[in-house]
Amino acid sequence: MMTKIQKTFQAETQELLDLMIHSLYSHREIFLRELLSNASDAIEKLKFESLTDSSLIQGGENYEIRLSPNAEARTLTISDNGIGMSYEEVVQNIGTIARSGTKAFLKLKQENKASTDLIGQFGVGFYSAFMVADRVTLHTSKGGVHQGVLWESDGSGSYSIEETPRVQGRGTTITLHLKKFEDEEGVSDFSDPWVLKSLVKKYSDFISTPIQMKSKKGKPTEDSSAEEDETLNSQKALWLRSPSDLTPQEYSDFYKHVTHDWADPAKTIHYKAEGSIEFVSILYIPSQKPFDYDFKDRKSGLNLYVKRVFIQGDCEELLPPYLRFVRGIVDSDDLSLNVSREILQKDRQIIRIHKALTNKILSSLKEILDTDRVSYEKIWLNFGQTLKEGVLSESGGYSKLQELLLFRSTTSENLTTLGEYVHRMKPGQKAIYLMTGETLQQAQNSPYLEKVRSKGFEVLLMTDKVDGWVVSRLTEYEKLPLQSVLSESLDLNTDEEKKAEEDQLKVFEVKLKPLVDSMKNTLKDQVQDIRLSTRLTDSPVCLVSSGEGATAQMERILKSMGQAVPQNKRIFEINPSHPVFEAMLEAPKSKQEEFSELLYQQALLNEGSAIDDLVKYSKKITSLMIDSLK
């Protein structure tokens, strides 16, 4: 038997140990996830190696992981009957970071193109034990070897190691002598069975090996028979089962477990990817909008598992922001992680998972749209505004998203797609027409729709806050331009109609020139130009944005976000056939100036913009009422 030897940690090991204890993990409770993961690794490694060496499992195949808390002694013991470690492996795996046994094993098996059921790197996560313990003892015995190894350290820079038999035989026992955290808030008592149960449920519920712990049966006595084994983890990796074997109720129960939502999901997507990247996922589209969905600091993302071990919640790297309403889990076999398993490395695997999940969700949404319109419209009403953000973020590659967009319309109370709009287009129609506005009612009653309606053309009405940006990117569909009716370049006429209107405008230009000159002088600080237009049929005036200027809605959105918005003068269009201009032409100059300001303010109200001096405007309206009554 080898006597106890005192060794010093490798410099890099001590550096990592200090990092583990003081800053690497955001929550101390992560230690249990790491140690249970390592125990699971050891068992899975034993299962694999025993296929070619049956002597490794002479101790039996009843695999288990056991937790043994002791509140009086303030200890927590975690044991397994996995592969165990030899003396040399303990030194390499725990004394030297670069020589992780599991990492070396995986590399060897990859060279043989073998498939293993392992995760992580033993000898890295192990050090998380020192976040909660001021002394750690490890007793291990390698499968097929009749000698054990006892390792102990207080994390201060050295450790002791000796050969001594492990009574249980093959496997590993880790005993944590727990620290006291009286001065640190929010740290649980890890010798409390209830705390351990909740942490196993949170982090390790789907580990395939049962995690056992003794629990009291009946009245407490000193007789050990009053205790019985309790399995803490469900071992039900739902996503690894065939969809044909799962019921809607099982999917729904799992959704509620993951999201804490009380309602059933609107859609479940069970997806397994195979090929260059392999992963399994269960994704859910909620049936209702969470109460905190629009909170600025709300976290979103999928829960990430690696071989059924919970790694990270709200993992935003797995989906684009415009799909942040999707909930669920992803379980990857070979995802690259950093040593803490809390921060994902931005590598090709992440990119591939991100792309595969995005494509799957978009295709699933299209399927719902095509086969269950009622359900899709409910999803759209909850999350359509979020989905439209993808038009802004996909750098032109948003063709799939175009098919999923729904719009209100001037010709129907029902929501419509772009494809359905195109199918209904009038002969000779040049573009898909749309309009942004503050509210649906305001848009429906807008004077900007007058000429379009007179032509019998349908207009898509967009009233979400994001729509101001969306229309700037959504410029074409099926080779048809999407054109805003607010644009100065709006062209609704045939060549013949255009020629007739141009001739008519020339007559009005001569007739109304004195009035237009007077209006330009009065409004020179408010508008870019004043033009005669045929856009309007009933209303006297409107404001339109030039090709380079932001729309009024965009200006309001930017201001609400606290951004500085440069003064953007718009074009003031007047309807020359409206009788108000005939009357103004004969009025004195003072009245022309007063009416010009009123008409400008009316145009601001019609587009949803505010008037600088509403009281002054009201007084002018009252004065006009009195004059008309006299």
**pLDDT tens figures, 103-151:** 443 344 445 443 333 333 334 578 888 889 999 999 999 988 888 999 9
- CA of 24: how far to CAs of 204, 242, 624, in Å? 20, 38, 73
pLDDT value of position 73? 95
Query: What pLDDT digit, counting tens, does each position of 575-609 carry?
Result: 999 999 999 998 999 999 999 999 999 999 888 78
Tokens of 101: 């046994």
Strand 327-332 to strand 302-306: parallel, antiparallel, or no bridges (unpaired)? parallel
Confidence of residue 96 (pLDDT cuts 50, 70, 90): low
pLDDT value of position 549? 56
Is the model's pLDDT at 211 over the cut of 60? Answer: yes
d(CA 558, CA 616): 27
Could you please state the CATH topology (level 3) that the domain comprising 5-231 is classified under.
Heat Shock Protein 90 (3.30.565)
Q: Please identify which residue in the block is written with the tokens 């196993």.
A: 200
3-class DSSP state of 330: strand
Q: What is the pTM assigned to this prediction?
A: 0.73
Please tell me the total number of residues recorded for the chain in this structure: 630
CB 298 within 8 A of CB 292: yes
Q: What whole-number percentage of the chain has pLDDT above 70?
A: 84
Helix (H), strand (E) at residue 595: helix 589-606
pLDDT value of position 113? 40
Number of CB atoms found within 10 A of residue 497's CB: 12
Is the model's pLDDT at 301 over the cut of 50? Answer: yes
Is the model's pLDDT at 548 over the cut of 70? Answer: no
| Residue that wins the pLDDT comparison between 61 and 272 | 272
- CA of 385: how far to CAs of 48, 102, 390, 404, 466, in Å? 49, 46, 10, 12, 7
- What are the domain boundaries of the chain? 5-231, 238-393, 407-484, 495-629
Number of CB atoms found within 10 A of residue 543's CB: 22
DSSP class of residue 228 equals E
d(CA 324, CA 351): 17
pLDDT value of position 95? 64
3-class DSSP state of 528: strand
| Residue that wins the pLDDT comparison between 57 and 334 | 57
pLDDT, the chain, mean: 84
Average pLDDT of span 94-109: 47
Query: What pLDDT digit, counting tens, does each position of 53-92 carry?
Result: 888 887 667 899 999 999 999 999 999 999 999 999 998 8
Label residue 471 exposed, middle or buried (CB < 10 Å: 0-12, 13-18, 19+): buried
Query: What pLDDT digit, counting tens, does each position of 491-513 carry?
Result: 888 888 888 888 999 999 999 99
Is the model's pLDDT at 553 over the cut of 70? Answer: no
Average pLDDT of span 533-554: 78
Confidence of residue 20 (pLDDT cuts 50, 70, 90): low
Is the model's pLDDT at 3 over the cut of 50? Answer: yes
Helix (H), strand (E) at residue 531: strand 527-532
407-484 maps to CATH 3.30.420.40: no
* Dihedral of the alpha carbons of 589, 595, 598, 602, in degrees to the nearest 10: -140
3-class DSSP state of 7: strand
Confidence of residue 100 (pLDDT cuts 50, 70, 90): very low
Strand 327-332 to strand 279-285: parallel, antiparallel, or no bridges (unpaired)? antiparallel
Q: Tell me which of 55-64, 174-183, 208-217, 620-629 is least confident.
A: 55-64
User: Is 407-484 in the same CATH topology as 238-393?
Assistant: no
d(CA 199, CA 558): 45
Where helices occur in 260-408 by DSSP H, the ranges are: 348-371, 373-393, 399-402
* Dihedral of the alpha carbons of 122, 128, 132, 133, in degrees to the nearest 10: 50
d(CA 493, CA 430): 9
CA angle, residues 299, 300, 301, in degrees to nearest 5: 140
Tokens of 459: 């207009």
Could you please state the CATH topology (level 3) that the domain comprising 495-629 is classified under.
Four Helix Bundle (Hemerythrin (Met), subunit A) (1.20.120)
pLDDT value of position 317? 87
Radius of gyration of the chain (CA): 35
d(CA 62, CA 73): 29
| Residue that wins the pLDDT comparison between 173 and 562 | 173
Q: Please identify which residue in the block is written with the tokens 């990817």.
A: 273
Q: Tell me which of 283-292, 556-565, 613-622 is least confident.
A: 556-565
Strands of the sheet with 408-409, listed across from one edge = 408-409, 459-462, 432-436, 480-484, 476-477
pLDDT value of position 547? 62
Q: Which of 7-21, 316-330, 461-475 has the highest mean pLDDT?
A: 316-330
Nearest to 603 by CA among 525, 544, 538, 520: 544
Is the model's pLDDT at 294 over the cut of 50? Answer: yes
Q: Which of 6-15, 137-146, 364-373, 534-543 has the highest mean pLDDT?
A: 364-373
- CATH number listed for the domain at residues 238-393: 3.30.230.80
